[in-house]
Structures are given as C-alpha cells and as structure tokens.
Amino acid sequence: MAAINTVSISPLSDEEIPISFQVLSKSFGHDAPFVDIYFPNHDTPSGQAQGSKRLTEWKHSSEASTFLKATIATTACDEGSQQTIIGLAVWTLMKEAPPAELAKVENVEEVWPDEADREFMTRLWRDYVVPRSKAIEDSGGKGVYVLELLTVHPDYQRLGAGTALVKWGTKAAIEQELQVVVEGTPVARRLYENCGLRTKIEEMRFDVGEEFAGRRKPKLIFMTRGPFHFVLA
C-alpha cells in the first residue's frame, strides 16, 4: 500500500501541463458552469488537448503569471518513491484591468466554433472581469494578486494542497502589501475563508440576455484579502 507524504508546492513545467489539465477536469467535473463553457469538452481527449494548449500559451505569454503544482511523494513496495501532481494554481500580479472583450485575450473562433457558445462565453466574460477590474483600478497602480485558477484532484483533497496553493499567493501579497482577489466557487468558500479571504460580492452578476436564459450561469463569489500595510517577518 502507498504511503502519502507531505504536500509540496513548486513551479509547473510545460511538460506537466497535460496531466495538470486532467486534474482540473476531474476536480471540477461538470459542477462548475464557468469551467464547462470556458474549457469546452474538458473531459474529452480533444478538449483536454485544446485546454492544455491554451494553458501552455498562457504560461508563455504572461510573465506576471505563476503556474504552480501541488505534489505528494508516494512510496510503493515495488516502485519506490515518485511525485504525483494533485493540484494546480495560477497566480497573476495584475496591474492593468483585463480586456472586457474576450476576443482580445482568446482565439474565440477556434475555442468556441459554435456561434451561440461563443456569444454566451463573450457575455459571461464581460461581466466576469468587472469586480476584478475595479479592484485593480482602486489599487492606485500597485496592482493586485489574482488567483485565476485553483484545482485539486478529488482523490487527494483534504491533504492541504488547496491551502498551500492559496497561501503561496497570500504570502506574496502580504510581502508586497497588495490585495488578493479571487472569483471562487461556493464549494471552495471555506478554504478561502480559512486563508483569510472575505466575501465582497455574495453572488457575481451575469447578465447574458433572454436568449441564454435556459443556460446554466456561473455561481461565483468575489472574495478579497488585504491590502496589507506590513510585511512578513
């Protein structure tokens, strides 16, 4: 039987992105509407290939983003010790508000070839970035730390991986006296609260229009921590 050791946090390599995307897919399943529409067909081979490609391009194009993995060392009698990726986080130091137009940050025709899906995601994105943009504008040019992505494999939850990934960013924010923001799912609320974040918007608003009234809209909480006026000893 394998013995599970301490969770470790370290930078994610390009080669590890495909397995990390599989962790993302298994973690969210189809319980998070925003993930389902933002990463179409994420539980299929083609969707995972596309999602991995997008994460890799994001990693290469954003010097302000830090891609982290959570791993555990497992020891089996016949295999020795090996590292297993169980979680993923992306932290970004944002000093400028993200574009409200999705087409400025994504290849929308390629990712959402269906016109209705593309329009739905475009409208979601427009509202999704509003609270984040306000926090950045209110920072007076200092910027904010944004937890853009957090996921932990369902088989390895409650081991501290999520907490460790969140605290990496909160520590960096404290050291630089910056605010932390996250658009979190209700299921992760307690984790964020335990890491010092507090709710600013109980349920983010998504005005997608009558033609999309039948589609599932994201249920997201906007949470913040800081800014701080001290540094860690």
* pLDDT attached to residue 223: 98
In this structure, which amino acid lies at residue 168?
W
3-state secondary structure of 76: strand
Q: How confident is the model at residue 67 (pLDDT cuts 50, 70, 90)?
A: very high
- Domain assignment present for residue 6? The answer is no
Residue 23's alpha-carbon distances to 87, 142, 174, 195, in angstroms, are 7, 33, 29, 22
Domain extent for 177:
18-68+87-225
The whole-number pLDDT of residue 232 equals 40
pTM of structure: 0.92
pLDDT tens for residues 147-157? Answer: 999 999 999 99
Give residue 215's pLDDT band: very low, low, confident or very high (50, 70, 90): very high
Q: Is residue 38 part of a domain?
A: yes
113 located within any domain: yes
In a domain, 161, yes or no: yes
Q: For residue 208, what is the domain's CATH number?
A: 3.40.630.30
Q: Is residue 204 domain-resident?
A: yes
| C-alpha–C-alpha distance, residues 173 and 182, integer Å | 13
Inside any domain, residue 49: yes
Residue 74 confidence (pLDDT): 76
Residue 197 within a domain: yes
Flag whether pLDDT at 6 surpasses 90.
no
As for how many domains the chain has, the answer is 1
The answer to whether position 81 is within a domain reads: no
